[in-house]
């Protein structure tokens, strides 16, 4: 199974809310989604992002989940 996450920037939020810490431990909303997916048996996460945000997502989400679940980045145009 694959989890598809639409993570391109939200215009109303004005930034990358998916990689903004939401708790005192520095977790992101997306961390909880990926954790639940792993627990449910998903084997791959597909992140739909803007190409210019790749480094931000790789350096936060990508590094956190490396070795835990396969990740693929798809660029929204």
pTM of the model: 0.81
Burial 47-60 (b: 16+ CB within 10 A, else e): bebeeebeeebeeb
- DSSP label at 68? T
Distance (Å, rounded) from C-alpha 35 to C-alpha 32?
5
- pLDDT (tens digit per residue) in 44-77: 999 999 899 899 999 989 998 999 999 999 998 8
- pLDDT (tens digit per residue) in 2-47: 999 988 766 666 667 677 888 999 888 889 999 999 999 999 999 9
Phi/psi of residue 59, each to 5°?
Answer: -75, -15
């Amino acid at each position: 199974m694959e989890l598809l996450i639409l993570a391109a920037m939200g215009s109303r939020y004005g930034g990358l809310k998916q990689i903004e810490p939401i708790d005192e431990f520095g977790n992101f909303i997306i961390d909880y989604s990926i954790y639940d997916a792993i627990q449910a048996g998903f084997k791959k996460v597909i992140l739909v992002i803007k190409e210019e945000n790749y480094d931000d997502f790789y350096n936060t989400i990508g590094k956190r989940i490396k070795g835990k679940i396969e990740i693929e980045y798809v660029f929204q145009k």
